[in-house]
Structure 1
Amino acid sequence: MIVPSVGGNADAHGRLVRVDAGTSEWGRGVQGSERSVVTIGVFDGVHRGHRRVAERAVAVARERGLRAVAVVFERPDEAVRPGARPQVLTGPRRRAELLTGLGFDEVDVVPFGAGPPGAGPGEFAQSVLAERLRAAVVVVGERFTFGGQDASGDVEILRTLGDKYDFEVETVPHLDDVSATSIRERLVTGDVEAAARQLGRPHRVEGVVVRGYQRGRQLGFPTANVETPQHTAIPADGVYAGWLECVPVANLPALYEGERWPAAISVGTNPTFEGVPRTVEAYALDRDDLELYGVHVAVEFAARLRGNTRFDSIEALIDQIHADVEATRRLTS
């Protein structure tokens, strides 16, 4: 699937952005004898630590007049390796968008298993880094591992292979207080502010707005019921202040493209109403005129307001929603 910022395979600046890229597509923007500066990783969250690596790769590319290429590997699917896929902080389209925004000329998001079958470190360095990407420099974090399902290659092995296949290796120090695992742990407890400090921006989830029970509309607070992809890292149940944004995605309605509203967000099962599955719902403050069904949206979490509570009456629930809306207004103004 190709998801450029503007139609075709390139965005308005000539950058290539590909999701679900097959092996034959990697480095397609590297022409003839041209070489590249490459960074490789999962980059889930594209957090502050990832950005240090990415920004250094782009800087080296600019210094040397080479193309900057990011190869982003997806985690194995749950069906392929049960239990191996953690909750996803950023989907492939968003990951490519964030990395492109850092200045890469090409971003290839590669599904699990799309690389050379069973490629160990040596084969990966030769067939991917040297031959396909024509790497002059490979920039990675100091804890980088690669090569096959057991990831048996480390930075020192990569340096040795670089000597053999004519590419340099530069490492970027690890940020001790930042990791995708730590961010997921913060989200499990609902601490979206701590997660944002590690990400360098608010955590967001994306999905398509679908029809729900429409109870929010009946209460005077119509919500967008967001159907998120499987394995999305959703914060703990509760009520949050944040934002609702319409995100343009191919083959989906482009209503309200790029618009962003402060939003009161509910995550959970709505305990006042029994038998409701877990949902993510966002009420755009002061907007009861939005028609968002079928639209791809992003929900960003700024702060947790409270946990979920079962109310004894609808009136008590409405009073609390009014208080949540005013708290959201203060926090997002």
Structure 2
Amino acid sequence: MHYWKGLEAVPAGFGPSVVTIGNFDGVHRGHREVLQAVAETAKRHAASAVAISFDPHPAQVHRPESAPELIMGLADRIETLANEDLDALLMIRYTLDFAQASPEEFVKSIIVELLGACAVVVGHDVRFGHGNAGDFATMCELGEKYGFEVIGVEDIGDHRRWSSTWVREALNRGDVETAAQILGRPHRMRGEVVHGAARGRELGFPTANLETAASGIIPADGVYAGWLVDEAEVRWPAAISVGSNPTFEGVSRQVEAHVIDRPSEGVEDFDLYGQQVVVEFVAHLRPMVAYRGVEALIEQMREDVERTRGVLVNA
């Protein structure tokens, strides 16, 4: 997949193409249905399959005080889209100046003239152009005017439409299983492993602590079964703690992953500090609670490890 960072990166005379537009936060199953339709339509037209997305998220520009948390960071969004059957991804820097373009100006200058679109594939809830004035009907009118086909993809889901909003709701209550059903894969965070208070090591359960700037929504406080993926792309089973660890005072909210079943030899070399790792959340085990004394906490942590091992056997 070609990655074009900005309009100027698109090769001159590009086309024909089949285009879709979206923020694609999470690249969930609904997004992937649209992307599949783009790829199939592109093959039918002997054209290139292209997705247009935006960075930052438009809501972060227009209403930063109430913009939704992003399910995944930009690097993960690009990586996940690269696994779809796309020929190119155009990432447009979203600014207030760019937002001034009318629906027709956006379509004419980018979709028609820059990308040479012969077809556009979008959901029926699509909005585009200044003030989100353009909708599906507008796109159909512009398709007739500029000579490209418009294909609408119906809402997709089980009892509810798959959406980024639904994923956020699930993660905010710690329901990583529902989030995974919508995403089609476990929710993940990515960040550098940093030094913490070393309490886990002192208790016999050393953890990899994610930096506070890690990308991806932090699920609700609690303990989870999941995976830690290191820079060598080795997947380690992990018991993951999210929260402020109420057994100890003065600890800020953090994400810590205790790798279980570590190698019996070379443990001292198992050093993740400074690495960019991925933490994947598979199942919620329990809420975060305060324990009366360290011994009770250690006993609970042993139980968490055993439950994690059991959950991940078939994961």
Fold conserved between structures, TM > 0.5: yes
Counterpart AA for 1:93: A
Match in the other structure for 2:281: 301
Whole-angstrom distance in 2 between the partners of 1:33 and 1:307: 53
Alignment match of 1:147 (pick from 126, 129, 140):
129
Match in the other structure for 1:6: none
Aligned pairs (5 A) from 1:16-165: 16-18=2-4, 21-25=5-9, 27-28=10-11, 32=13, 34-74=15-55, 75-76=57-58, 78=60, 81-113=63-95, 116=98, 118-148=100-130, 150-165=131-146
TM-score, with length taken from structure 1: 0.86
- TM-fit CA distance, 1:17: 2.1
Alignment match of 1:326 (pick from 298, 306, 313):
306
Would the aligned equivalents of 1:16 and 1:106 in 2 still touch at CA under 8 Å?
A: yes
Whole-angstrom distance in 2 between the partners of 1:231 and 1:296: 11
Confirm whether residue 224 of structure 1 aligns to residue 208 of structure 2: yes
- TM-fit CA distance, 1:80: 5.9
Counterpart AA for 1:315: E
TM-score, with length taken from structure 2: 0.91
Match in the other structure for 1:180: 164
Would the aligned equivalents of 2:7 and 2:90 in 1 still touch at CA under 8 Å?
A: no
Distance 1:117 1:134, change over 3 A: same
Partner SS for 1:325: helix
1:4-44 superposed Cα distances (whole Å, 9 cap, x missing partner):
xxxxxxxxxxx2124xx22222x33xx53631111110111
- TM-fit CA distance, 1:117: 5.0
Match in the other structure for 2:248: 273
The total of aligned residue pairs comes to: 304
Whole-angstrom distance in 2 between the partners of 1:141 and 1:293: 43
1:123-156 superposed Cα distances (whole Å, 9 cap, x missing partner):
00111101111111111111111112x2110011
Whole-angstrom distance in 1 between the partners of 2:40 and 2:186: 26
Match in the other structure for 1:193: 177
Which stretches of structure 1, 4 residues or longer, exceed 6 Å deviation after superposition? none
- TM-fit CA distance, 1:199: 1.0
Partner SS for 2:95: coil
Distance 1:84 1:264, change over 3 A: same
Would the aligned equivalents of 1:204 and 1:299 in 2 still touch at CA under 8 Å?
A: yes
Whole-angstrom distance in 2 between the partners of 1:235 and 1:78: 21
Match in the other structure for 2:236: 261
Alignment match of 2:148 (pick from 153, 167, 185):
167
Whole-angstrom distance in 2 between the partners of 1:49 and 1:268: 31
Gaps of 5+ in 1: 1-14, 247-255
Gaps of 5+ in 2: none
Whole-angstrom distance in 2 between the partners of 1:53 and 1:140: 7
- TM-fit CA distance, 1:228: 4.8
Match in the other structure for 2:195: 211
Instruction: State the identity %.
Output: 47
Match in the other structure for 1:284: 259
- TM-fit CA distance, 1:87: 0.9
Would the aligned equivalents of 2:190 and 2:214 in 1 still touch at CA under 8 Å?
A: no
1:68-121 superposed Cα distances (whole Å, 9 cap, x missing partner):
111112314747633242011121111111111111111123332187451110
Partner SS for 2:132: coil
- TM-fit CA distance, 1:224: 0.8
